[in-house]
Amino acid sequence: MTFSYDTRLLVCTSCGAAVDVPLEGGQVACPECGMSRSYRSFDEADPVDEEWASEPPDEGRRLTTLREQDRQALKLPPSLSNYGGSGRDLSAMLEDFRSTLVQIQKDGPFTLHERLFFLGWLSGHDMWSGTDDRKLRAVCQSVIENADSDQYRNVFHSDLSRLALREGDMQSAQQWLERCDAQSDDLLTDTAYRVAAAEIATQRGEFQQVLNILGAELDGVPTADAYDEHVELLRSNALEKLGRKDEAVAQLSAGMKRQEIKTYESARARNQHLDLCPTCYEPAKKAAQPGAVKRGLSLVGMLPALTFLIFPVMFCFSGTFLRACAPTPYSMAMDKLQACPAATKALGGGIDSTFGIGCGNMETGGGNGNLSWSVPVKGSKARGDLHVSGVQRGGTWTLNRLEVEVDDQTIDLLECTAPKTKKK
């Protein structure tokens, strides 16, 4: 099998073809160009870091570190900016990959290792559909054996685990996964591992284990943005298979409202072997479509009904509106505002919401929802605008943005940091 743990394919540094190399290494000639070279053994080229299991990190601190990296766009090296969008040239990427590999093997600068990783990661993404599995395997293996970073190697160990699983080789999938660091504090590395482990659990029918790995709620566990759609599909599929279809539809539709639905279509198509979300996908897709909400509400008499309906609202209204229809996030926001010394210094004492125009949008119902709102506030010295964003999952609200603007200063209330002055 192409992705078996017991086989080895590497990229020929002369022509870029995939070369079968024995695990024990030795002299091997490329079948395409005929160039012969000597290879190390697999164990020498890809040693397992024994330190991973020696001292497990504090899990709470690790999750905090991972969450700090979430919602940040993946940054490509400037030299690869032309490959950042859709429609990139796969042939050009593979040639860049080969030439970078040559430079690394000639002891080129350390920055080349990052370049090799991203070229391999992007080209691997574009080859994932199975157009050239031998080349894909060779790219993955070549990054593993040449990139001087445990994080880079771990991402590709996870990818090989997933590819072996796609090929029906459960044993190899598990063996590749066992070479990974299961407790990385790098978000991309941790997400790649979680996805591979969740796919194995999915294939085994261990759906509660999928939820243990990925979290049972949307945004419950931080994941790299590049994997978000697939993670949500895996989670919703597990909920569906556990008989919790309503939750599966609600979570998947909530995710679809934040992303383009076509990205879910692509993720589902790329992982057809897992048969994800067979009965919850279409209802979730329908619920996420613009105009899916059937009941319209006016301001008059609507407040008592807000916690029982799923609806989107966007208003410009007094700040007291948020206090009335979303008391929990309002109280959370005001408590943090009033407790922050930097805010008190800027606004003065006696901070509270005040009469004025507050604009925002909110969606809530069934214990799940989200909001983004601006509330006018004032203290004894000055007025300002409080910006609140949060999500509700299972009845619990979490704030993911909380800032107050006072004159030309912005204060992050989640961290209660010193004010940042706006650039003019």
How far, in Å, CA of 281 to CA of 139, rounded? 33
Residues 203, 172, single domain; the answer is: yes
In a domain, 292, yes or no: no
Residues 162, 223, single domain; the answer is: yes
Residues 121, 185, single domain; the answer is: yes
What pLDDT score was predicted for residue 136?
A: 96
Residues 26, 127, single domain; the answer is: yes
Q: Which of 42-46, 265-269, 272-276, 402-406 has the lowest mean pLDDT?
A: 42-46
What pLDDT score was predicted for residue 380?
A: 82
What pLDDT score was predicted for residue 134?
A: 95
Per-residue confidence at 393, pLDDT binned at 50, 70, 90? confident
Q: For residue 8, what are its two tokens?
A: 């080895």
What pLDDT score was predicted for residue 305?
A: 36
Residues 123, 263, single domain; the answer is: yes
The pLDDT mean for the chain works out to: 84
In a domain, 293, yes or no: no
- Total domain count, the chain: 2
> Domain end: 286, 313, 334, which one?
286
What pLDDT score was predicted for residue 12?
A: 97
**Among candidate residues 251, 197, 195, 202, the one with its CA nearest the CA of residue 226:** 195
Q: For residue 351, what are its two tokens?
A: 């901070």
What pLDDT score was predicted for residue 36?
A: 96
In a domain, 226, yes or no: yes
Q: Which residue has the tokens 């989640």?
A: 414
Given a cut of 90, whether residue 97 has pLDDT beyond it is: yes
Residues 199, 234, single domain; the answer is: yes
What pLDDT score was predicted for residue 257?
A: 85
Contact predicate 11/139, CB 8 Å:
yes
What pLDDT score was predicted for residue 373?
A: 78
Is the pTM higher than 0.85? no
In a domain, 3, yes or no: no
In a domain, 276, yes or no: yes
Residues 168, 252, single domain; the answer is: yes
What pLDDT score was predicted for residue 359?
A: 64
Q: Which residue has the tokens 């990229």?
A: 11
Given a cut of 70, whether residue 303 has pLDDT beyond it is: no
Given a cut of 80, whether residue 298 has pLDDT beyond it is: no
How far, in Å, CA of 152 to CA of 118, rounded? 9
Given a cut of 70, whether residue 311 has pLDDT beyond it is: no
Residues 69, 180, single domain; the answer is: yes
In a domain, 379, yes or no: yes
> Domain end: 227, 256, 286, which one?
286
Residues 95, 181, single domain; the answer is: yes
Judge residue 226's burial from the number of C-beta atoms within 10 Å of its C-beta, 0-12 exposed, 13-18 middle, 19 or more buried: middle
In a domain, 407, yes or no: yes
How far, in Å, CA of 184 to CA of 197, rounded? 14
Q: Which of 30-39, 193-202, 270-279, 359-368 has the lowest mean pLDDT?
A: 359-368
Share above pLDDT 70 across residues of the chain, in percent, rounded to a whole number: 85
What pLDDT score was predicted for residue 369?
A: 77
Residues 273, 307, single domain; the answer is: no
> Domain end: 251, 286, 321, which one?
286
What pLDDT score was predicted for residue 113?
A: 93
Given a cut of 80, whether residue 345 has pLDDT beyond it is: yes
Residues 319, 274, single domain; the answer is: no
Mean pLDDT of 36-50: 81
Q: Which of 29-33, 258-262, 298-302 has the lowest mean pLDDT?
A: 298-302
Residues 279, 386, single domain; the answer is: no
Q: Which of 141-150, 197-206, 229-238 has the lowest mean pLDDT?
A: 141-150
What pLDDT score was predicted for residue 49?
A: 59
Mean pLDDT of 124-147: 91
In a domain, 143, yes or no: yes
Q: Which range marks the domain in which residue 320 is found?
A: 303-421
Given a cut of 70, whether residue 146 has pLDDT beyond it is: yes
